[in-house]
Amino acid sequence: MKLKYFLQVPIAIGVVTFLTACSLGNVGNSVSSEPKFKISEEQMKAFILEGNNIEQCIYPKLKGLSFTEATHKVYNKMTPIELYVIGKLRAKKLKEIIGEKNYSLGSNDQLSENYFLQMFNRLNNQIANINSKECNQLKKEYQSELGQTKKEYENFQEQERIARKQAQQNQQRLEAEQRARAAYYNSPAGQAEIQRQQIIAHQQQILANQRAAQQAAEWQRLNQTISNGFQSVTNTMNQNTNMINSMTNSMSRYQYNPPQNSSTTCYRLATGIVRCNHR
């Protein structure tokens, strides 16, 4: 039995775990080879005694009965809500005995649960020891918890009923809409509407194809414009280069003849230009 069903059945049945009857938490599997929490024999004996006190105080007929007799005469006649509240009271006692921290550790560790169950089955008994004053106080607490739990359960059932009714109404409305839609489209007006929608869809597809073709043409023109621009720049650069080369060649062929009555010194620059100094 999973931990989350802790104490929802009477102690005499021998199925006890660490989670409260009202807990909806998931049970984690331990990755260690050792339990995270080991209840001591003294703690287990105290827990069994408190559980017996709760059961035999609230259900006095359990006193002195064997497990088979108790099941037939008492347990089978208890409602799920009564089992729930009994489990909740036992869980409260267990927390008081082992502490909140250990209770939390054991509640989420499979090895701790197994260790707990083994010790419980070994030490379990039907011995109770509760005085009338404590029993009366316990009965009041039980009745209070039972009344509150019944209200919560009734509210839960009402919410479930409302949710089911709403879901049923939604389903009925959906089915009615589907039938009405089918009947409409089978009528002459519906057939005309179908044709109209098909025409609109066809026109929209044509427009979409035209837009796609127009965009493709615009991209092609843009690419051509960019390509032409690069080609123009390249041509201009080539023309400038040719002009510079032509000027350089012309200057390198130039021969300067100085006057006979002057002194001139000429030299060629690295660029091919001839420079002369006259005196």
Per-residue model confidence (pLDDT) at position 15: 40
41-58 helix and 80-98 helix, angle to the nearest 10 degrees? 150
Sign of CA dihedral 54, 55, 58, 63: negative
Span 58-111, pLDDT tens digits: 999 888 887 788 888 888 899 999 989 999 999 999 999 999 999 998 888 999
What pLDDT band is residue 32 in, cutting at 50, 70 and 90? low
Residue 135, pLDDT > 90, answer: yes
Residue 161, pLDDT > 50, answer: yes
Segment 128-149 shows an average pLDDT of 94
Span 221-265, pLDDT tens digits: 887 878 777 777 777 777 777 777 777 666 555 555 555 555 666
Residue 153, pLDDT > 70, answer: yes
Most confident of 21-25, 30-34, 43-47, 150-154: 43-47
- Would you kindly state where each structural domain of the chain is located, as residue ranges? 3-130
Cβ contacts of 118-123, under 8 Å, gap ≥ 24: 119/39, 119/41, 119/44, 120/14, 120/16, 120/44, 120/47, 120/48, 121/14, 123/41, 123/44, 123/45, 123/48
Most confident of 60-69, 143-152, 214-223: 143-152
Q: Report which of 75, 48, 58 is spatially closest to residue 135, judged by C-alpha positions.
A: 58
Residue 267, pLDDT > 50, answer: yes
Q: pTM here? A: 0.54
Q: Is 154:77 a contact under the CB 8 Å cutoff? A: no
